[in-house]
Each structure stands twice: as structure tokens, then as C-alpha cells.
């Protein structure tokens, strides 16, 4: 898989609550440990889903074309339904309650959050399964998923890297980005879903 192929997939993986959580953790009290364990949890979760899809042969030649078409149709219906639900509820949209805990997050909580967000969030599950299915259907080794996993984790680590490299300037900019994403969470969600919709139909 080329860089131009995995970049949009990695962006889909982190856009939304994932990168927002990374920003919150980068401005938390124990930001180094929290951010590191968040990324570790995410890496473990992503790798597990990809491996399961790969070894179960989801989307492989053995599965047959009919099941692949059915899967694509189901994915499209779910994405459109999610976009409609997000748009209709835009005025009442609020950040999840667990986000209020991020500024006081513990390393253990950060690890669990990374694992669950990147392994349970619908668009992330679909994307990780698509990567594993692509490798299985083309008889490629599982290790070929490493660039995708690495790029996704690098994007998640950007907020903490910004704090490490820029210091006080990052601590001023990141809260502004965090607040904007909080106030416009429905816009972020719609962009992510629309992006994934394009990837699915092309």
C-alpha cells in the first residue's frame, strides 16, 4: 500500500474524538505518560482488528464477490445514516461526558481510552478491517500493515510532539484548537463521514 493510499485512511482513523482526545491529553497534568499510553493502547487496538480481519479472511477471494458487495452496501447505508443523524442533531451536539475527565486523566485511563477509541469507533473498525481485508485478498503479508499503523499513530502523537518541541507556544495553540473542535464537533464528524463515504464508493 502506497503512502498516498494509506494517508487518507490514517486521517479517517484519527479525525474526530480521537485527535481531540490526543489534544486534551497533551495538555493534561501527566501529559507525557498519558499521551504515550494513549498511543500504545491505540496501536494495540488497531493491530488487533487488522489481524483479526486478515486471519478471518474478510474480503478475501474465498469470501466471494457477493459477500463483498453486501458488506460495501451495508457500510454505505451506515455512513449515510450516521451523516443524517449528525446533521439533524447538530444544535444539541455536545462532547461526550468522558471528555471532561481528560484534563485529569491517569495513564491507565489514557491507555484504555486509546484502545477503545481506535478499536470500537465505527469508522475506525471499518477502516482497520478494510486494511486487513485488502492484505488478505491480495495475498500480502500481515506486516505490510505496519506503515498504515505507524502513520496513524504518528498523527495521534502530533499534539504531544508539538508540546515537546514548541513548549509554551503549543500550550497556547492546542487549547484553542481543542475548544474549536469542541464547539464544532458535528462539523468535524460530517467531514470525516463524508471523506469515508468517498473512499468507500471509489
Confidence of residue 71 (pLDDT cuts 50, 70, 90): low
Mean pLDDT of the chain: 78
User: Which of 58-62, 113-117, 190-194 is predicted with the least confidence, judged by mean pLDDT?
Assistant: 58-62
Confidence of residue 37 (pLDDT cuts 50, 70, 90): very high
Model confidence at 105: pLDDT above 80: yes
The string of pLDDT tens digits covering residues 19-33 is: 888 988 888 888 889
C-alpha distances out from residue 20 to 113, 117, 167, 180, Å = 12, 11, 19, 10
Model confidence at 132: pLDDT above 80: yes
State the pLDDT at residue 97. 61
The string of pLDDT tens digits covering residues 3-21 is: 667 887 888 788 778 888 8
State the pLDDT at residue 50. 94
Mean pLDDT of all residues in 75-85: 65
The string of pLDDT tens digits covering residues 133-179 is: 888 888 889 999 999 999 999 999 998 998 888 776 766 777 676 66
State what percent of residues in the chain have pLDDT above 90. Answer: 25
Amino acid at each position: 500500500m502506497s503512502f498516498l493510499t494509506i494517508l487518507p485512511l490514517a486521517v479517517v482513523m484519527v479525525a474526530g474524538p480521537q485527535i481531540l482526545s490526543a489534544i486534551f491529553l497533551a495538555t493534561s497534568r501527566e501529559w507525557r505518560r498519558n499521551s504515550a499510553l494513549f498511543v500504545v493502547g491505540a496501536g494495540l487496538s488497531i493491530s488487533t482488528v487488522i489481524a483479526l480481519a486478515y486471519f478471518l479472511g474478510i474480503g478475501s477471494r474465498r469470501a466471494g464477490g457477493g459477500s463483498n458487495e453486501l458488506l460495501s452496501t451495508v457500510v454505505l447505508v451506515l455512513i449515510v445514516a450516521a451523516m443524517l443523524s449528525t446533521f439533524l442533531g447538530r444544535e444539541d451536539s455536545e462532547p461526550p461526558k468522558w471528555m471532561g475527565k481528560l484534563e485529569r486523566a491517569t495513564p491507565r485511563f489514557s491507555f484504555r481510552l486509546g484502545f477503545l477509541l481506535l478499536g470500537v469507533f465505527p469508522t475506525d473498525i471499518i477502516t482497520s478491517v478494510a486494511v486487513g481485508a485488502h492484505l488478505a485478498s491480495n495475498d500480502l503479508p500481515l506486516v505490510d500493515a505496519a506503515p498504515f499503523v505507524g502513520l496513524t499513530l504518528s498523527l495521534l502523537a502530533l499534539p504531544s510532539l508539538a508540546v515537546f518541541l514548541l513548549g509554551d507556544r503549543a500550550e497556547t495553540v492546542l487549547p484553542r484548537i481543542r475548544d474549536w473542535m469542541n464547539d464544532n464537533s458535528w462539523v468535524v464528524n460530517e467531514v470525516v463521514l463524508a471523506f469515508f463515504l468517498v473512499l468507500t464508493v471509489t
